[in-house]
Structure formats: structure tokens, C-alpha cells
Amino acid sequence: MKICVTAQGVDLDAPLDPRFGRCQYFVIVDTETLQYEAIKNPNIDAMGGAGIQSGQIMADRQVKAVVTGNVGPNAFQTLNAAGISVITGASGNVRQVIEQYKKGEFKPTQGPTAMAHGK
């Protein structure tokens, strides 16, 4: 299964980035093999719509879950509509978050955990 962890760097030892729409990198990890791909977030400096555009990247990459610190309402709605589980409140580095995910230590978030950008 492919999941995305928002990160401040490009590998499994990178610290989690607590933002979704404006995180520095999306690290997409296969939870079975730990093979991963790091994508520099093209929406980090977007004037608006970063959450929606970032959510679309996740849908295009066919990830099943996003693990982050917080997610705004537009990103949550976009991810939810694509059938992608959203998990917030995570911390540590990407590798630690993947291990916690595999152990079932996270529960999907039921709604946004951050205000819309600029609010």
C-alpha cells in the first residue's frame, strides 16, 4: 500500500512536516517494501488552493492514506472525496511514522484540523 508522509526532507529519516498543503516534501512510501519517492511540493508558495492542489497530487499518485500534522478544510475535502484516509497529529521522522502506521497506531481524522490558509 502506498501512503504519503509530509516531510521536511527527501528520505525516510527526514522529520515530519506538520503542514499538508504547504509541506516541503511529500514522501510516498510503499508500506510493504519501504521503497519511496520524494516529491518537492510545487504548492508550497501558492497564493491559494495549496491544499486542493496537493490533494490532487495524492489522488494522481494513488496513495491510500496521508499522514501529517494538520490538514485544512479544502485539503481534507479533496482527499476525502478521492477516498484517501487522512491521519493527523503525527510527529517524528518518516520511518517512525511508517512503523506507527503499520502497527495500526493511527486512527483516520474525521475532519480538518487547521483553519483555511489566510483565515
pLDDT in tens, 44-100: 999 899 999 999 999 999 999 999 999 999 999 999 999 999 999 999 999 999 999
Q: What is the pLDDT of residue 118?
A: 53
Question: For 12-17, what is the mean pLDDT?
Answer: 98
Cα–Cα distance measured from residue 58 to residue 103, given in angstroms and rounded to the nearest whole number = 22
Q: Judging by DSSP bridges, how do beta strands 2-7 and 65-67 pair with one another?
A: parallel
Confidence of residue 17 (pLDDT cuts 50, 70, 90): very high
pLDDT of residue 119: 46
Model confidence at 1, pLDDT cuts 50, 70, 90, reads very high
Q: What is the pLDDT of residue 105?
A: 96
At 115, is the pLDDT very low, low, confident or very high (cuts 50, 70, 90)? confident
112 in Cβ contact with 82 (< 8 Å):
no
* 2 Cβ neighbours under 8 A, 6+ residues apart: 28, 29, 30, 31, 61, 62, 63, 64
Handedness of CA 95, 98, 103, 108 (dihedral sign): positive
For residue 82, which of 45, 54, 112 has the smallest C-alpha distance? 54
Element (H, E) at 59: helix 50-60
